[in-house]
Amino acid sequence: MIRPDVSRERLAVIDLSASGRRWSCAKLDAAAEGFAASLVRAPLATDARVAILAENCAEYLIAYMGTMRAGCVSVPVNHRLPPDTVRYILADCRAELCVVDAAREALIPPALARIVMRSSGAAALEARGPAAVPLERRTPPPTGEILYTSGSTGRPKGVVLSHAGQLWALGVHVGATPMAGERSLIVAPLYHMNALFNVSVCLLNAIEVVLMPRFDAVAYLKAAAEYRCTLLSGIPTMFALMARQRELLATLDLSSVKAVTIGSAPLTEALVARVQEMFPQAAISNGYGTTEAGPSIFEDHPQGLPRPLLSLGYPLPDVEVRLVGGTGDEGVLEVRSPAMFTEYLNLPQVTGAKLRDGWYDTGDVMRRDGSGFYYFTGRADDMFVCGGENVYPLEIEKMLERHPAVLQAAVVSVPDEIKGEIPIAFVVLRDRNLPLEELKRFALEAGPAYSHPRAFVVVDELPVATTHKVDKRPLKAQALEAAKALKR
């Protein structure tokens, strides 16, 4: 992913997890080549799965690139998941090696081989001296990477992506000549497709990357100003939190920012206005993609028509889209493209339900205007997005009902300025005197922090529809009141 037509000494990455350590194109390339050589010599067979479990850092990129150069399969793992879910992923993909940072080494099974970043055994991840040339250039397997994403039941599914598909997807975004003077600030976790793809596009276009280990509104704004970043990207939650830093914003020079892309969750006109106020020189766009589609689907209009404020864009060349199950200009988006995933790992029935004749059912309800621009209007299922993460009410309900004091639970989502949507839980308790803080503590310990209910409402019983299923519609008004009382 390092362009051959740029200076080897040109800056590639500034790693803010290591006090701003700088990696030139030559140094990053040598480290990736050296890591690939170490895997070949290990030896790891082609198609061997190498998991990466860490916060954002340069070593993450080195492991990601080096794994695929060696003909192995890269498997980034969400380190925010509960320990048992992390171990499930490592077993499901049959990982033979895990590249892990020290803070998360305890998450992996004792028997799994590992390389701990920035330890005495991690020399293969460093560019120390001349690059070690792999003993052989091996023919890569069809599979390039496996990215895990939550599915309709909330359990992680391995999305299998091919080398050929990813090369096509990246090729769509690579310019004929390197870009000069551009610097992108990236903080989205590298286990997400949007961050991995964004970094790859930057490196292939010779855009300098400022890589943050994790998001903090103050640190992000300071980094954007200090490093004179020109390109920003992230989820609505990030920018809503930044907008609250009024005193800090008044002290920073953010005039270098020329473009802001916001994606992974619905965007509102109110948030766009706040983002424009923070970055007055920037063009703001609404991004959309899916892991399964590899990820790009939309771009600017081919006739140069200006993109409407909340539009996702116009379909890319060679990407087929259709709207089904609704009117001609509104329905569930289905996509077919050269970058399409090949399967959900070890889940043939789920694959068959979502991928038919090359058409992927996104589950996202869209509408199309007269100029061919697309807009996101909602989800076809019950899933909602909280802070950029997929959240499934059924999974939260099942988790809450594991508490001995909870007889029943129902979870509904309500709009939230910071997170997009948040879960509110209605519970039928064995003992109404149970402190609700105990339920909150239980939820934080038993599931991902991002999906814990932000408020609990105790009820005598849950409403039931004629289908003999819980009817959540009457709960919506109460949920909105509970959310309002939070004064977020």
List pLDDT tens digits, range 169-218: 999 999 888 999 999 999 999 999 989 999 999 999 999 999 999 999 99
Task: Report the b/e string of 199-218 with b at 16+ CB within 10 A.
Answer: bbbbbbbbbbbbbbbebebe
Please check whether residue 408 is in contact with residue 400, taking contact to mean a CB–CB distance below 8 angstroms.
Answer: no
**The two three-digit tokens of residue 301, written as one number:** 């209009």
At 129 the pLDDT is 42
At 125 the pLDDT is 85
Please check whether residue 94 is in contact with residue 49, taking contact to mean a CB–CB distance below 8 angstroms.
Answer: yes
At 135 the pLDDT is 53
Ordered by start, the domain boundaries in the chain are 11-214, 298-379, 384-486
Strand-pair category, 420-429 with 455-458: parallel
CATH class of residue range 298-379:
mainly beta
* Rounded-to-5 percentages of helix, strand, coil across the chain: 30, 30, 40
At 376 the pLDDT is 87
Q: pLDDT tens across 127-172, in order?
A: 654 445 545 678 889 999 999 987 444 578 999 999 999 999 999 9
Q: How many CB atoms neighbour CB 268 within 10 A?
A: 15
Rounded distance between C-alpha atoms, residue 100 and residue 281, angstroms: 39
Q: Among 1.10.10.10, 3.90.1300.10, 3.40.50.300, 3.30.300.30, name the CATH number for the domain at 384-486.
A: 3.30.300.30
**What residues in the chain have per-residue pLDDT under 70?**
127-136, 151-154, 265-266, 270, 465-469
CATH class of residue range 11-214:
alpha beta
Rounded distance between C-alpha atoms, residue 52 and residue 190, angstroms: 9
Please check whether residue 379 is in contact with residue 363, taking contact to mean a CB–CB distance below 8 angstroms.
Answer: yes
Residue 397: closest CA among 468, 436, 447: 447
SS (H, E, C) 412-425: EEEEECCCEEEEEE
Indicate the angle between helix axes 58-69 and 25-41, nearest 10 degrees. 50
CA 441 distance to own-chain centroid: 26
Please check whether residue 233 is in contact with residue 262, taking contact to mean a CB–CB distance below 8 angstroms.
Answer: yes
Q: Which helix (H) or strand (E) holds 149?
A: strand 143-150
At 128 the pLDDT is 54
At 362 the pLDDT is 94
Q: What is the DSSP string of 348-373?
A: HHHHHHHEETTEEEEEEEEEE-TTS-
Say what the pTM is.
Answer: 0.82
Rounded distance between C-alpha atoms, residue 448 and residue 157, angstroms: 16
- Cβ-defined contacts of 163-166 (< 8 Å, 24+): 163/68, 164/338, 165/294, 165/338, 165/339, 165/340, 165/341, 165/342, 166/294, 166/339
